[in-house]
Structure 1
């Protein structure tokens, strides 16, 4: 049960966006740029970073949503998302992605936890300054989103089919329409 009265029974951030649409617009614009805008990282990779950080934060709604969004855009689907969630170092992903996930995990612990060692490791695997920047910003933004969703006690459905349906819409239309 949410801590505040929402105008809808939509789960997670969706209900919060209906409660305060004037904040929903800028937040959706940020996510649209970070997860779907021009980048040398694929949309699936960026959604994977968002899902991974949400998992580290134990945010069930955000993890479930962005895991479904990543799975819909990665050839290996949910199997890979779950492998990354369980063990990013052992997951069958490129070394650059592993290094970026390590940066994201450091951000999740606190911005000052990102060290020169993290950045050097990512650069050694071919990560660009823009990819490092965007990884840090995705991780930081999802820490905020996770705290927003959980801090207001929103509802997170258990059924993965609902998240898979949301993924179809997000992949096709993006974040600006919801």
Structure 2
């Protein structure tokens, strides 16, 4: 049960965006820029990074919703997402993406956990400075989103079909449109 009076029919972050529209715009704009805006990482890769960090943070809503978004945008679909969540070191992803996932995991542990070794590994695997930057920012932002969603105990559906519906909406319409009330 949420810690504050949220619309119980709306799960996760969207319920918080509706509760406090003054903060909805900047938070939604940030997600839109990070996950769908121009950049060298594929949208599916960005969603996978967000989902992986959310898994590390044990944020079921964000891990599931962004995992579903990654699944519809990446070859390999949900089985790939599940393998990355379980162990990115053995998941069938490129060396570049594997290094970026390790970098994201370091950010999740704390900013000072990112060291020369993580950056060098990402560069050796072919990551550009922009890809390194974007990975760090996605990981840091999702630590914030995860704490926001879980810190107010928002509803996280247990039915995977709900996350498929969320993914369809987000991949089609983006993050800046708050879904209408049911």
CA RMSD of aligned residues (A): 0.8
Structure 2 residue 156 is the aligned partner of structure 1 residue 156: yes
- Write the deviation string for residues 17-60 of structure 1: whole angstroms up to 9, x where unpaired: 10001111111100111100111110000000000000000000
Secondary structure of the structure 2 residue equivalent to 1:44: helix
Q: What is the TM-score with the length of structure 2 in the denominator?
A: 0.96
- Would you identify which runs of 4 or more consecutive aligned residues in structure 1 move more than 2 Å? none
Alignment partners' CA distance in 1, 2:62 and 2:165: 15
Could you tell me how far 1:8 is from its partner in structure 2? 4.9
Alignment partners' CA distance in 1, 2:64 and 2:125: 29
- Write the deviation string for residues 136-173 of structure 1: whole angstroms up to 9, x where unpaired: 00000000000000000111000010110111111111
Alignment of 1:4-153 (within 5 A): 4-153=4-153
- Write the deviation string for residues 80-121 of structure 1: whole angstroms up to 9, x where unpaired: 000000010000000000000001000000000001000000
Bigger drift between 84-93 and 6-15 goes to 6-15
Alignment partners' CA distance in 2, 1:109 and 1:75: 29
What count of residue pairs does the alignment treat as equivalent? Answer: 178
Q: What is the TM-score with the length of structure 1 in the denominator?
A: 0.98
Could you tell me how far 1:9 is from its partner in structure 2? 2.7
Q: Which runs of 5 or more structure 1 residues have no equivalent in the other structure? A: none
